[in-house]
Structure 1
Amino acid sequence: MPGPSDGTAGARGRGRALAEVYRRFGESEKAKGSPLYGQIAIALSSSEEALRVIETAPARRRNPTLVLAALHDVALAGQAPALASAFTAPPAAPDPTPGTESTTSTGVSGAAVTGPRGRGRGAGGRSVGEAAVEVMVGMAELVLERLVGRKVRGDEGGRHAVLYPAVAEVARRVGAGAVGLIDVGRSAGLNLVVDRVGISYGNGQLFGDAGSGVQASASVVRGGLLPSTAMPEVMARVAVGDELVDVTDADEARWLRACVPPDQVERLARLEAELALAAADPPVMVPGAVLDVLPEAIARVPDGVLPVVMTTWVLSSLDLEERLRFLQRLDEAATRRTVAWVSVEGVGVAPGVPTYGDRRASGHSILGVSVFEHSSLHATGVGRCWLRGEMLAWLAGTSSPADR
């Protein structure tokens, strides 16, 4: 029969396991990703009180990325000033004498001091790790509340550099003078502002709005030129998915920011600019399972305007049967009007899109354009891309084996 101490021993074992998860995560983040989050995760792993709070959350809500986003959200909401101050304090300078505990004032009204133990120290003199532990323990209910129903959305930025030439190309092929963009599976629908950003390519080509607050770039490999066709006027913007985010809602937009570590300043600035651009002309939102609501989303595009469905690394979440049903939905919608599909998916993920004979899991993605018209499908691959669109090889119209 279990003794009275067995429950305590089990709890200690779970606590040690959780501490190890956070410690390993912290070491990994310090080496790559977010050094700031690395410091916080290690501080949490060393605090029994903080770990006990985390253990009260449902098992699937205890992972470090979600807990750190919740802490960030509380700070962004102005509810944890000391933690917010530590987030924005200057990085710690390396200690010239190993083992010493020196600190250096920033000279800004004593607002922050830096030292070897943390990224910065807030107005109260606490390191970012100490401030995070204090919030985790002292504001436990508030932090845990942030975890309910939340999902880390760390990859929300638009994929403008690969989408712009593909949308322009498919519109040219159809002869469309206007398009309605339908963004599938991207919760904030930030792909939908693709026509309102500035885009520069490594080969010197420029597209879009050079004066936009959002500027995207991509290097071009193989030395080819992208088509010079401009994207036609966008007459409709529609976001589709079962976890949509309303960019005009302050709390939802703040959560998107919270999912980006505070020390990834450039990434945060770009997200901020994209959210502002999207909020200025918010999309029509069609919530629900994609396969169920896609016909409704296409119907939201006015007659006489080409619906262009866009998928960027979302179809891999569907099994093969569901992907084929996705294709069927597009085909069904094309019985009364032409429908276009621009896909940026892993090799072999987008059904019907040629892959240049590339192997699956090859490390790059295929950029495809497809036209559905009167129950016929014309699908072509127009390029390859790497690093989520930061590198692009435009292959449409090329015949050189070296390019393929």
Structure 2
Amino acid sequence: MTTALIYGEFAAREAAGESPAYQNLAVAVSRDAHLIGLLDTLPPAKRQPNLLFAAGRFLGAPVTDPPAFLEFAAANWERVAHEIRHRATQTNEPARCAVLLPLLAALPQPLALLEVGASAGLNLFPDRYAYRYGDHVLGDGDPLLDCALTGTDPPQKLPEVVWRAGLDLNPLDVTDPADAAWLQALIWPEQDDRRERQRAAARTVAADPPLMVRGDLVDDLPALAAKAPADATLVVFHTSVLYQVPADRRRAFTDLVRTMRAHWISVENPTVLDHAGLPNPPDERLHNVLALDGRPLAWARPHGEALNWFGDRP
């Protein structure tokens, strides 16, 4: 798929109905041959819309004004490209915990959580947040995470987490001003609720920092997993991470995690992991696949706002 088509697809399937600003901006980029040419000088994994737009926001670009953004990006390309090359889309949306919770609550307790691609670790605290699935509210923490759940009953309890660790090539620190600013820049312009949700989750992380390890998802996973307490159920999980990993390393990771004495929860784009026999998604918008130990169970919206269950009940 060409870079122009990637931006057109992003506008139609991801930003549509979620962010008018990014929908309009993605369309404008897809039609700008000069900026497309500049993007094509970057490695393929670095050409993605979320990364370009976040780098622009981080540098003060006017993302709600497409012509002005195109002008800014062209005039400041070296600065923009530097941020793109040295950063990643570590969105770290805590609301994704709402799609993980039905599985986490159903596994044998207590849990040891190990997140691959953990960013700042906001998704390592599913036991500390509050959840609302329709009329069903669970927990009393902050933030309150809303998720439209269909196809199964909402979880009735929070998990018991006794150990939590994150593995990332570039772990972020919520107490570092630059890292905090980058996390905020990754949130789409109109989504003030996500911005405040992230701030609330960051306060939880800052009060009780998890073990964060800088490392590779294949080379360094076994050593970190070995630190988990033996009397807890180890859960290795990741959300919207593997699309950034080259195919050969992705295969090495999935081969490795299948051999570990752990449960494996993935929430990834259906093009990233090979799940045979998937039903059609609920609509034309982008949905990820929630899977347990390689078995697909539900369609999940990328920011945790909806979960459509089609597999065995947890």
The residue aligned with 2:83 is 146
Shift of 1:282: 2.4
| In structure 2, C-alpha distance between the alignment counterparts of 1:55 and 1:36, rounded to whole Å | 22
- Cα distance per residue 1:86-130 (max 9 Å; x no partner): x7xxxxxxxxxxxxxxxxxxxxxxxxxxxxxxx6xxxxxxxx456
CA contact (8 A) 1:184 1:240 kept: yes
Partner of 1:387: 301
The reply to whether residue 197 of structure 1 matches residue 197 of structure 2 is no
Q: Does 1:265 align with 2:179?
A: no
Task: Measure, in 2, the Cα distance between the counterparts of 1:274 and 1:253.
Answer: 12
Q: Per the alignment, do residues 40 and 237 of structure 1 end up closer, same or farther by CA in structure 2, a change over 3 Å counting?
A: same
Relative to structure 1, is the Cα distance of residues 299 and 146 closer, same or farther in structure 2, using a 3 angstrom cutoff?
same
Deviation at 1:32, TM superposition (A): 5.6
Could you tell me how far apart the structure 1 residues matched to 2:271 and 2:24 are?
40
Where does structure 1 lack aligned partners over 5 or more consecutive residues?
1-16, 88-118, 120-127, 332-338, 371-378, 399-404
2:221 to 286, 291, 294: 294
Partner of 1:307 in structure 2?
Answer: 234
Which one-letter code corresponds to 2:194 in the other structure? R
Residue 159 of structure 1: how far off its partner (Å)? 1.9
2:148 corresponds, among 206, 219, 232, to 219
Determine whether 1:36 maps to 2:16: no
Q: Is the Cα contact below 8 Å between 1:347 and 1:361 reproduced in 2? A: no
- Tell me the residue number matched to 2:119: 187
Report the counterpart of residue 285 of structure 2 in structure 1.
none
Matched, 1:163 2:100: yes
The separation in 1 between residues aligned to 2:310 and 2:39, in whole angstroms, is 51
The answer to whether residue 289 in structure 2 is matched with residue 365 in structure 1 is: yes
Q: Is the 8 A contact 1:55 1:62 kept in 2?
A: no
Distance 1:366 1:147, change over 3 A: closer
TM-score (ref. length: structure 2): 0.71
* Alpha-carbon distance between aligned partners in 1 of 2:55 and 2:271, rounded to the nearest angstrom: 36
Q: Report the Cα distance in structure 2 between the residues aligned to 1:242 and 1:129, rounded to whole angstroms.
A: 32
Say which SS state the counterpart of residue 248 (structure 1) adopts.
coil
3-state SS of paired residue (2:147): strand
Percent of pairs with identical residues: 27
- 1:275 to partner: Cα distance: 3.0
Partners of 1:64 and 1:162 in 2: CA distance: 24
Larger Rg: 1
Deviation at 1:231, TM superposition (A): 1.6
Letter in 1 for 2:84: L
Deviation at 1:72, TM superposition (A): 0.4
Q: Which structure's relative contact order is higher, taking Cα pairs within 8 Å and 6+ residues apart?
A: 2
Deviates more, 1:305-314 or 1:161-170: 305-314
Does the 8 Å CA contact 2:147/2:307 hold for their aligned counterparts?
yes
CA–CA distance in structure 1, aligned partners of residues 270 and 78 of structure 2: 45
SS at match of 1:326: helix
**Distance (Å, rounded) in 2 between the aligned partners of 1:249 and 1:299:** 29
SS at match of 1:262: coil
Task: After superposition, give the CA deviation of every residue in 1:2-25 in whole Å (9 maximum; x if it has no partner).
Answer: xxxxxxxxxxxxxxx99x889968
Task: Work out the CA distance in 1 between the residues paired with 2:39 and 2:238.
Answer: 38
Q: Is the contact made by 1:152 and 1:259 (CA closer than 8 Å) also made in structure 2? A: yes
Contact 2:167 2:221 in 1 (8 A): yes
2:59 to 62, 74, 80: 74
Match of residue 255 from structure 2: 324
Q: Provide the C-alpha distance between the structure 2 equivalents of 1:24 and 1:34, rounded to a whole number of angstroms.
A: 14
Provide the C-alpha distance between the structure 1 equivalents of 2:290 and 2:10, rounded to a whole number of angstroms. Answer: 34
Moved more, 313-322 or 212-221: 313-322
Q: What is the rounded CA distance, in whole Å, between the counterparts of 2:17 and 2:29 in structure 1? A: 19
Aligned partner of residue 194 in structure 1, secondary structure: coil
Contact residue 190 and residue 278 of structure 1 kept, 8 A: yes
Change (3 A) 1:153 1:396: same
Give CA-to-partner distance per residue, 1:380-399, whole Å, 9 cap, x none.
x694334345124386569x
- How far 1:348 sits from its partner (Å)? 11
Q: Secondary structure at the match of 2:114?
A: strand
- Secondary structure of the 1:365 match is strand
| 2:82 alignment partner AA | E
Number of equivalent positions? 298
1:59–1:392 distance in 2 versus 1, CA, 3 Å: closer
Offset, 1:285: 1.4
With over 3 angstroms needed to count, the CA separation of the structure-2 counterparts of 1:362 and 1:134, relative to structure 1, is: closer
